[in-house]
Amino acid sequence: MSGLGHYLEQEGLATTQISLIRLHTEKIKPPRALWVPFELGRPLGAANDAVFQRRVLLAVLGLLEAEHGPVLVDYPEEAPAAEASDMEGWVCPIKLAPPPKPESPDGQLAEAMADEMARLQPWFDLAVETRGRSSLGLSGVELETARAFLLSFLGAEPAQNPLPALKPAEALRLVYDDLKAFYVDAATAQPGKASGREMQEWLWGETSFGKILFALRAKLLAAEDKDLRLAGKWFLVPSSQWDRAP
Amino acid sequence: MARLDDIDPHMRQDLIELECPRFESQPWVEGAPLAERRVAIISTAGLQRRGDRPFAWDAGDYRIILGDSAGDELVMSHISTNFDRSAFQQDMNVAFPIDRLNELATEGTIGSVARFHYSFMGATAPQEMEAATRHLAGLMKDDDVDAVLLLPI
């Protein structure tokens, strides 16, 4: 991000920016930067908190009136969601059946995921109705097709690619993103202040979908297709969950 | 949380070791008071309109976001799974604060909001985005933009 500030300023456009990784900003020295102590993925700090977002926005825009630079200022406030969550902890309000044990017969995880999605569907619908938008739509395929395609990578041969213009690894990433978006839209349909880490702990630690992603990652890491190996290594499980026991 | 100590050890090490570009000069563009500025957003969150082309691995290109219709069609195709998306899914303003920016324009804190905004996919090295970024500078000047808000993810 900071490099873009240099390029634009060289072209005659003034810039100001949020910094999430202070170390990188210190090295690149963009003209104006506000470092914020917020989670990655939340540069304005908190969802559904217009007052807090406004304060952050005013702070970063205010740097445009600095007299000389480079300017790197630390934002003094913590994100409100993180503070609340630290005290109480977030629990997904939708009760799902515990995932099958890793040694369960083939097919049980797939059935469990289908059951999860059925239970999540009304909450997903509520989220869409409340927000006026969903987070789906990267792959453009129906969720059932997305689930079947993803699960097929656990078998001997992947199913026919529903996105034939794309390589299988790229299609897999997009259907995975849509399925993940569905789960998260549903889990956040009720008001609550889950941190990003709590959401990861839920998705990869408490759902059958998460267990499937771990199994898929293990399989793809040994794939012959280099793109599938990359997908297995980087796309399916966040690094914060890599050390989780199966 | 974006303190390095709060990030998981695998990612923290990658971030510490990440090679950052060095710049010989320190450009600095001055401008009008904030209340007269026209502001555009450039995000590196891999944002796109639903139905637009998803970002690919190592993509150095950008997507255009229309400020007045971002609400129901903005989705994220960043390749990384390591940052939180749940907040963005609940409220796009946490990563793309177009509503907040419009409010500041309405009350006169800033001059106006650009018609077009842009997104890259920030897992790409900055050097790979340089040509497109310089191209965008011209497009934004054509839109009378004189302040760019850069937002990472």
Whether A7 has its CB under 8 Å from any CB of chain B: the answer is: yes
Q: Give the other-Cβ count within 10 Å of A84's Cβ.
A: 15
The length of chain B, given as a count of residues: 153
ipTM of the complex: 0.95
Q: Answer whether residue B114 is part of any domain.
A: yes
Domain locations in chain A as residue ranges: 2-81, 108-241
Q: Give the other-Cβ count within 10 Å of A68's Cβ.
A: 9
Q: What is the mean pLDDT of residues A154-178?
A: 94
Contact check, Cβ <8 Å, B149/A234: no
Which residues of chain A from 86 to 145 reach within 8 Å of chain B, CB to CB?
131-133, 135-138, 140
Which residues of chain A from 162 to 221 reach within 8 Å of chain B, CB to CB?
170, 173-174, 177, 180-181, 184-185, 187-188, 194-197, 199-200
Give residue B115's identity as a one-letter amino acid code. Answer: R
What's the confidence (pLDDT) of residue A200?
94
Q: What is the pLDDT of residues A183-206, one digit of tens each?
A: 999 999 987 788 999 999 999 999
Pairing of strands B47-49, B74-76: antiparallel
Report pTM.
0.94
Q: Answer whether residue B95 is part of any domain.
A: yes
Q: What is the mean pLDDT of residues B15-21?
A: 89
Q: What is the pLDDT of residues A29-46, one digit of tens each?
A: 999 999 999 999 999 999
Residue A8 contacts residue A15 (beta carbons within 8 Å): yes
Q: Answer whether residue B144 is part of any domain.
A: yes
Question: What is the full DSSP assignment across chain B?
Answer: --SGGGS-HHHHHHHHH------S-------S-GGG-EEEEEE-B-EEETTSPPPPTT----EEEEGGG-TTTEEE--S--SS--HHHHH-GGGTS-HHHHHHHHHHTSSSEE-SEEEE-BTTS-HHHHHHHHHHHHHHHHHTT--EEEEE--
Q: Which residues contact B128 (CB under 8 A, 6 or more apart)?
A: B58, B60
Residue to test with chain A: of B20, B81, B82, most A Cβ within 10 A: B81
Q: Answer whether residue B11 is part of any domain.
A: no
Option in A53, A82, A136 nearest B93 (CB): A53
B44: containing domain:
36-151
Task: Count structural domains, chain B.
Answer: 1
Q: What is the pLDDT of residues B61-96, one digit of tens each?
A: 999 999 887 778 999 999 999 999 999 999 999 999
Nearest CA in chain A to B122: A1
Alpha helix (H) residue ranges in chain A: 2-10, 22-28, 50-62, 80-88, 108-131, 143-152, 168-187, 196-206, 208-220, 226-234
